[in-house]
Structure 1
Amino acid sequence: MLRTRIILFFSAALLVVLIFSLPRVVVDNEKNGIESAETNPSTEAPSGDAHSDELQPELQEQADKLKENIRVAENIEKSIIFADSLARLYIEANKFDSAAKFIEIIADKAPGEANWLRAGDVYYDAYGFAMDRQKQEALGEKARFYFNKVLEQSPDNLEAKNKLAMTYLSTSNPMQGIMMLREIIENDPENEQAMFNLGILSMQSGQHDKAVERFSKLTQLYPNNTQAQFFLGVSYLEIGNKEKAKEQFILVKSLDSDPAVQATVDSYLSEIE
């Protein structure tokens, strides 16, 4: 959904808040073939949460019961069932960092590609929502740990590789993530997620002409990608092509009727008019 990206304006997945907070030199150096360094992600838990564990009273009561059930569970199978229920409860409450802790329990008790991917995905979502830099880095490290385990088993899993690449952007070696995205495009020139991520990175670096080029190609291949259509409009606006920007924003309004999307696009249109 475009709604989440717009409400957070470059956050989780999705990461636009994160991306726009990066120094512009990060992507300006995309042209320079900077050599990537190896990383050794820790398996230690993050030092803090991106969100509070606190839930609404009725949900908190359910969570407390499930936590107690995990504590007294007689076998691994039961503890996994209770951990899964807790994770789903926290996900429904948009508390992805809390959910990730319990999915990690599942991944550790029942290791395997599916559970590693699930843990990586939820840590990635938590990473995208984290506002505190230290927490963001810790959550990103956890996501990398699980995505790397997935890729050890399935090197061609491009969804995991895309997300892994984006987590490197908050590290001391963001070029490693950029190089990974380039590798994806080399192997799959029409990979929707990698094309989108590179378009976002072009915007972050101030290379709006390149962003227009990338989002134009992406929307030609995937016309129903509302996110790309929206950011193509933003990119046109940044290069001063108000007519094209207006066309894009009107198109986005026709593609997504969500009130949050409509209001955000209207705010851009009001700037143009």
Structure 2
Amino acid sequence: MLTIRTKQIILISAVVLLVAFLFTRDIKGLVKAKEETTAAPAAGPMQAEAAEINIDQVSTVGKNLVGSAVAKDITTLENEFKTADGNKKFSLAASLAKKWDAVDQPVPSALYLEMVAQQEKTLDSWLAAGEKLMKAFDNSRDTTLLQPLLQKANASYSAAVALDSTNLEAKTGLGITIVNGMGMPMQGIAMLMDVVKKDPKNLKANMSLGIFAIKSGQFDKAIARFNDIIAIQASPDAYFYLATAYESLGKNKEAIDAYLQSKKLAGNLTLSKFIDRKVAELQEKI
């Protein structure tokens, strides 16, 4: 017979697989299940210094994913960027960031926004860079990019906090990077809890706390957190995570209801098929 501990491990592993599925589809969270896989950054603190990413290599990969006309326009801008200097260079970096963002390529977009922030050194520019770097981290399937993207996001949010230690967006972003591996997780949790204390309806901080509760096996806390989030603003990802928490506690009827709400709000065919299979499995257990 399986021990209680073994059952818990299997249960949490199942949750990780569910969350991993979520991150390969349109619904995105703030803290990825990738940390639970071999592709993830190692647990515990990382190096604080941001690693370098070869922008040319990232650009080449991105151009292969967009139309030839867009790729040609980007190449023209990049060539101008390489020969420009001063304000012109950073104006072109901002243009390249927008161009890449328009074709949903967050990694090169984030790297150019980071260049802009390093030049401007303003709160808004650091926040913009941090947000885009975390989006790149959340979406990247290149495992070699995960740690440097997270490091860069941490550096951007750290710079923002240094400029304004009371800014909740900066503290939230920094807390999320710490929870993801840029320090001791509880340090990041404490930072996010402080944000929620000051702004109880802060969705980004609440979502991150809820997902961390799932990943750490604190399913009751996760359920309470996601119900609070849904009361503020219902979303497909909040309902999906709520469903995984309910399922993990064997509350299959509640899990089914939450999964179906996620399906209804998402309107995503692939996710719908996945949820239909999950619901069928759970209905057999009731």
Equivalent in the alignment of 1:30: none
> Deviations along 1:25-77, whole A, 9 cap, x unmatched?
x7xxxxxxxxx98x88325524787783443433222121101111233651x
CA contact (8 A) 2:235 2:262 kept: no
The unaligned stretches of length 5 or more in structure 1 are: 27-35
The TM-score with structure 1 as length reference comes to: 0.79
Distance 1:242 1:50, change over 3 A: farther
Q: Which of 235, 243, 260 pairs up with 1:250?
A: 260
2:19 aligned with 1:8: no
Equivalent in the alignment of 1:167: 177
SS of structure 2 residue aligned to 1:6: helix
Q: Which of 77, 80, 91 pairs up with 1:81?
A: 91
CA contact (8 A) 1:9 1:16 kept: no
Q: Which of 92, 111, 118 pairs up with 2:102?
A: 92
Distance 2:74 2:118 in 1: 20
SS of structure 2 residue aligned to 1:171: coil
Equivalent in the alignment of 1:150: 160
CA contact (8 A) 1:151 1:161 kept: yes
Equivalent in the alignment of 2:204: 193
The TM-score with structure 2 as length reference comes to: 0.76
Distance 2:86 2:36 in 1: 46
Counting aligned pairs with the same residue, the percent is 23
Distance 1:257 1:134, change over 3 A: closer
Q: Which of 209, 215, 238 pairs up with 2:220?
A: 209
For residue 125 of structure 1, report the CA deviation from its aligned partner. Answer: 1.3
SS of structure 2 residue aligned to 1:170: coil
Distance 1:58 1:44 in 2: 32
Q: Which of 246, 256, 269 pairs up with 1:236?
A: 246
Output the amino acid matched with 2:217: G
For residue 89 of structure 1, report the CA deviation from its aligned partner. Answer: 2.4
CA contact (8 A) 2:23 2:29 kept: no
Corresponding residue pairs, total: 256
Distance 1:269 1:11, change over 3 A: closer
Equivalent residue runs for 1:119-158 within 5 Å? 119-131=129-141, 135-158=145-168
Equivalent in the alignment of 2:114: 104
Equivalent in the alignment of 1:33: none
Cα RMSD after superposing both structures: 3.2
Distance 1:10 1:64, change over 3 A: closer
**More displaced 10-residue stretch of structure 1: 106-115 or 12-21:** 12-21
Equivalent in the alignment of 1:176: 187
